[in-house]
Amino acid sequence: MFECDVLCIGAGGAGLVAAATAAGTGSRTIVISKMPYGCGNTRISGGLVLRPNISPKDSLDSLMRDIIVGGEFLSDQALVHEYCKRAGLAAELMERFGIIFSRNSSGQPAPLPTAMGGHSLPRTLTGYCEGIPIGTALRAAAAGAGVSVLDETLALSLLKRDGSVTGAVCLRWATGEIICISAKQTILATGGLCRLFYPHTSNSSSVTGDGFALALDAGAELVDMEQQQFIPFAITHPESSVGIVCGEPAIAGPYGRLLNARGEEIIKGIRTKTRAEISAAMALARQRGEATGHGGLLLDLSPNLRRPIGKKMFAFIKRTFPSMIDAVRHAYGEEAARGEIPWDVFPTAHYQLGGVRVDTRCRVRGVANLFAAGEVMGGLYGANRIGSTSLAELFIFGSLAGECAAKSAHETERPRIDLDHAREVQQRAGRWRDKKGSVRPVQLMRELGAAMWENVGPVRNASGLEAALKKIEEIRLRSEDVSVAARRDYNPEWLDALELEKMLVTAEAVTRSAFERTETRGGHVRTDFPRRDENRLKSVVVKKSEDSLSVEREDVKLEKYGLETKGGPNPIRERIQFIILGLLPRKTQEKILNARLNLGDSD
């Protein structure tokens, strides 16, 4: 038995920020991590972070408007307000943890020169590092704050007593030991679920949606689980590279085009569009039979190379997104990496938008002593997340959850553990080990991923969603016939079986929510309901009762910004600016571009 004031389940960005914040108040804090801590999706981030109010034209209202309009009005506007109110603290906190951002010649934070997709103003900082160093910095911050870490530990179930969460039962899969952790307050920071769509995902292998199943079992509600963000530009071949992100709207530069297999442009001004808008356009183009032989569309960056402004901008983009260019080079060759030939691309499952319902202090609604932060938390982004917001979110809500959980822990008595529940969880987990079935758990995981991508990916309809639900139930029945080795320590098949159990719950929640979303809103397309319908502007809420899931719709509260609100970049104004810039003398162009791109006098 372990005891602590604050237990944090998950050790990615949000989890480590929450843990370091809680421990910094003097609370005894334990973090559990399914993988070595500091991993998860934070390690695959591009290092871009929102930093508002760099421009004198920026404001809290402007940022709120962009997030809500970009999220197609499905966001919880109270959560968005809390996010925007605290957004300026994210970059400061990150630099305090050792993550340094680009500066101009006077030492001030220097954003990207143009607005990222969905933003009306430039407010995105670039780091001198990408995801792995960010994870390393967070590990150091947690260690410095005195956080206790249990690596390679999987949460099996949240413990409850009298309606309040009292900790968790966990498997230390390195040793095969099942343990109880007693906690006054618990924070879910387990990340997203996009591994459900494998191999069409950018996510790490551990991101299997555990937290959503844990929350449902504890009595929490999930909101808008059908909303995933499919980042639009990912590699389509060879097989070993499928799903790897090679860019988002900004990478197109001022003159990049998105073409179908016939060479026709499918959507104009891609650099200024949101990820959802482009993903939906690509899904529709493939549905019309316009995709390439590899199932993708063609991202043509070569027009940038024919104009001085575009050439300069593309050179800057290559320096800003080196890992993406390397992925293109590996898959498509050097000519593609130089932008000379088109890239074959299609959206990949990147980020879970829906999740656990929380209030503005990260408390899980309807469940005492439980908080949520990071990608497992729902309601903030609605149907789409505009660029560079997720890293900021980890620090904004991670620190808020840690602060509020620590404060609540100081006011909470040491909880009593329900030992009968703990023994039941232990027996249920143990039954998977040493099974002599006919199928390996990983095979069922692959079948689930294929069914989810085919039927609940960017293109959806009622018959496909029904097929997905049947497949989920079929896999659930077949999972009783899995083959799992007998060993206790480092038994990957045991871990796979336990993950699969929760993946099936989460996949069902996503699919039932998608069935209820009878419109096209966000990055997916309902081919049987191909338009956004403001009469169907509802949140879809999933609850668990006994052993079944129920789904219902609720009205979205348009508290500050209604459906008439406009936001995001102005592509016509941007195009005019580029035309005017192109008419200026070459030296003047160079001077303006160097200033905007924060370069020296020579390139």
* Residue whose structure tokens are 């609100």: 565
Amino acid at 287: Q
Q: How far apart are CA 392 and CA 222, in angstroms?
A: 22
Q: How far apart are CA 396 and CA 70, in angstroms?
A: 19
Closest CA to 13 of 199, 210, 187, 155: 187
- What's the half-sphere exposure (Cβ side, CA atoms, 13 Å) at 8? 39
Bridge partners of residue 597, in order along the sequence: none
Q: Pull the structure tokens for residue 499.
A: 């993950």
Q: Pull the structure tokens for residue 163.
A: 């309606």
The catalytic position among 257, 275, 286, 526 is: 275
Give me the sheet containing 548-555, strands edge to edge.
355-356, 222-223, 538-545, 548-555
* Residue whose structure tokens are 């030296």: 587
Amino acid at 293: G
DSSP 388-412: T-HHHHHHHHHHHHHHHHHHHHHTS
b/e 199-227 (16+ beta carbons within 10 angstroms → b): bbbbbbebbbbbbbbbbbbbbbbbbbbbb
Q: How far apart are CA 100 and CA 110, in angstroms?
A: 12
H-state helical runs in 321-378? 322-332, 334-337
Q: How far apart are CA 577 and CA 588, in angstroms?
A: 14
Beta strands, E only, 268-382: 297-300, 343-352, 355-356, 370-372
**Residue 275 bears catalytic tag:** yes
Q: Pull the structure tokens for residue 119.
A: 């933003």
CA torsion sign, 17 to 21 to 22 to 28? Answer: positive
Which residues are catalytically annotated? 275
